[in-house]
Structure 1
Amino acid sequence: MSEKNPLPPVLQSFVDELALCVATHGDKGSALLWTEADEHLLLLYHVWLLDRMSSMHGVPVSGAPVAAGSESARLTTALGQVLGRAVRAYYHVLPAGGASERIGFGDDEATLSVAEGACRVRLWPITGDEQAAPDLRLREGQSLFVPGGHVYAVSDVHTPTVLMALVLGEQN
């Protein structure tokens, strides 16, 4: 990272927490990250709003991942630099009562962060039994680390919910 263009402290703090979670749990399994900084939730929500406003057509409301706009670039670039990986950002926008089908990113790891709302996420190995999968309730500001080779499904959406998925590609 260039000293001429440092990240805002709240963005750097969020990137550092996600990177630590990925480094700690990357070879062990899923992990839930409860950030202690309210500013992290505000950051996610701010990035989401800017992405939504900068898109001429808005972001479609569906459980399927939709590529994030250019406003998430500072976040993906910073996380990619810390982890030494390519990072892609997606949104899941779900209406109240919405749910998603099985979603996965192949062998790539990912983090799911709730920018707005709350939902239940079931997570299981691609080759595993979906019915035996544990599920977690995620609320605004919480993040879930999804190991490579796992898929997830979102349900129990009682209020409109926005998830940001940061997909961690191969090592640089």
Structure 2
Amino acid sequence: MDNGWAWVEDGAGLDLFVRDLALCLSVHRDRSPALVWPDGVDTVLAGMRGVPRQRADAELPGVAAGTADLTTGLGELLGCRVGSRYVTLPTGAEGPATAATDLVVLPVLGGCAGRVDPAPPGRARAALTRALEVRLRVGEALYVPRGFGYTLAGTRSPCTLLVLALHPPSW
């Protein structure tokens, strides 16, 4: 079966990527945003075969094409459900939002500016006291905790992002 991943035999690159993300989230989850450069990202990007397809995998609703192994592996390590989707930001786009669930934003084509605002009132565990502003490039991943406001902007050309949504387990 062709699952779209270049490493089919051992999955070492995907395993490194998933473990690096899980390690980052184990430190920052529900506390503060984080920027991470996970090992194995080249394998993950190669597995997407260039421009991401805009349809979802038939086997797993809410999982973007070519990301089923990634979402399953991350979900198993973190003990949660992980969904994914591709988002394309047109040139000059700017979109403020509030994370309804924990998010990991990973540029797969192009780059954009990212801003995560301080924690909303009542988030005593949150460590961020002022806005975090970053330039997201291919190979970098931005973690945005649930409830934090964030903005993606500053695209000079269209930018495609893979957004991973971390949902609590359903028992």
Kindly tell me: are residues 141 and 89 of structure 1, through their superposed partners in 2, closer, same or farther at Cα, counting changes over 3 Å?
same
Unaligned runs of 5+ in 1: 57-66
CA contact (8 A) 1:51 1:68 kept: no
Task: Name the CA distance, whole Å, in 2 between partners of 1:161 and 1:42.
Answer: 20
- TM-score by length of structure 2 reads 0.74
The one-letter code of the counterpart of 1:74 is D
Letter in 2 for 1:16: R
**Distance across 1 between alignment mates of 2:157 and 2:46:** 15
Aligned to 2:94: 99
**CA apart distance, 1:165:** 1.0
Residue in structure 1 matched with residue 107 of structure 2 by the alignment = 114
Shift of 1:118: 1.0
In structure 2, do the counterparts of structure 1 residues 126 and 6 end up closer, same or farther at CA, with 3 Å as the change threshold?
Answer: farther
> Pick from 11, 24, 27: which aligns with 1:24?
27
| Partner of residue 64, structure 1 | none
After superposition, the C-alpha distances for 1:84-103 in whole angstroms (9 at most, x for unaligned) are 10001022211222222x22
Deviation per CA, 1:57-77, whole angstroms, max 9, x where unpaired?
Answer: xxxxxxxxxx65342111111
Higher normalized strand content (fraction of residues)? 1
List alignment gaps of at least 5 residues for structure 2: 1-7, 57-61, 122-129
Q: Distance in 1 between matches of 2:47 and 2:9?
A: 19
Counterpart position of 1:123: 116
Do the aligned partners of residues 8 and 141 (structure 1) sit closer, same or farther apart at CA in structure 2, a change above 3 Å counting?
same
Q: Sort the Cα spacing of 1:125 and 1:45 in 2 relative to 1 into closer, same or farther, 3 A.
A: farther
8 A contact 2:87–2:161 mirrored in 1:
yes
Note the alpha carbon deviations across 1:114-153, whole angstroms, 9 max, x for none.
111111111125747xxx7332111110011111111211
Aligned to 2:150: 152
Report the 3-state secondary structure (helix = DSSP H, G, I; strand = E; otherwise coil) of the residue aligned with 2:32.
coil
Q: Once superposed, which parts of structure 1, at least 4 consecutive aligned residues long, lie more than 3 Å away?
A: 48-51, 125-128
In 2, the alpha carbon distance for the partners of 1:24 and 1:103 equals 24
Contact preservation (8 Å) 2:47, 2:66:
no
Cα distance in 2 between the residues matched to 1:103 and 1:33? 21
TM-score (normalizing by structure 1) = 0.74
Provide the identity percentage: 30
Q: 1: distance between equivalents of 2:118 and 2:49? A: 29
Q: Give the letter for the 1:99 counterpart.
A: E
Q: Does 1:12 align with 2:15?
A: yes
